[in-house]
Amino acid sequence: MSNQRIRGFTLIELLVALFVLAILTMAGFRGLNAVLETRKAVAQETRKWQDLMFFFSRMEQDVALAVKRPVRDGAGAPQAEWIGHSVPVSPADAQLILTRAGVQDEQGAQAGPQRIGYRLDRDTVYLLRWMALDQPMSAEPKRYALLQGVSEFHLRYMSADGQWNEQWPLAGQTGGIPRAVEVKVTLAGGKQITRLFLTS
């Protein structure tokens, strides 16, 4: 039987092996990081479109439930059932304020009419809700964030003759509900989305 010589790794071979292992580890890390970043971007994009769908669905429902019920402000002055401003003039004001019919709660009880509004403040569209139709002095609405990442929020209102108007009520009128409302939202990235909602 001949003696076999046992040969180990040389230092150069060990260094080469470690170098190859380091390259493979780095490539695997970069691949995993790319997958995680892609997953994060997809999740953010999905959330953005879900928020948009909820926002437009909520607004469509509110517009469809608009009712002809004028109110009185804190000073006792009458306000139209539907008010549309290009720019809010006070913290308690909004681009759109309307009276909408109440809906049934989880127990099936019918809620009374509500006074609500939509307002863009910085980069967020808020839902404003007043606790009463005829408001007490210094009544402040509650604010609920509906849609973030918005740079512009623009509304137009269709009158009975089919004309679009930037303000509501029309000049010379004290109230009424438009036939339709056009909602235009511009997102922070510049994408513009327009929806048309019919009133009841």
* Sequence-distant (≥ 6) Cβ neighbours of residue 130 within 8 angstroms: 114, 115, 116, 139, 141, 142
Which pTM does this prediction carry? 0.77
* Main-chain dihedrals φ then ψ at residue 71, nearest 5 degrees: -130, 175
DSSP states along 184-199: EEEETTS-EEEEEEE-
| Sign of the four-CA dihedral 137, 171, 120, 183 | positive
Within 10 Å of residue 113's Cβ, how many Cβ atoms?
Answer: 16
124 closest CA partner among 91, 97, 151 = 151
Alpha-helical segments (H) within 4-83? 11-64
* Tens-level pLDDT at each residue, the chain (200 residues): 455 555 666 777 777 777 788 888 887 778 777 777 777 777 888 888 899 999 999 999 999 999 999 898 877 888 999 999 888 878 788 999 999 998 766 676 777 899 999 999 999 999 999 988 988 767 789 999 999 999 999 999 999 999 999 999 998 898 999 999 999 999 998 999 999 999 97
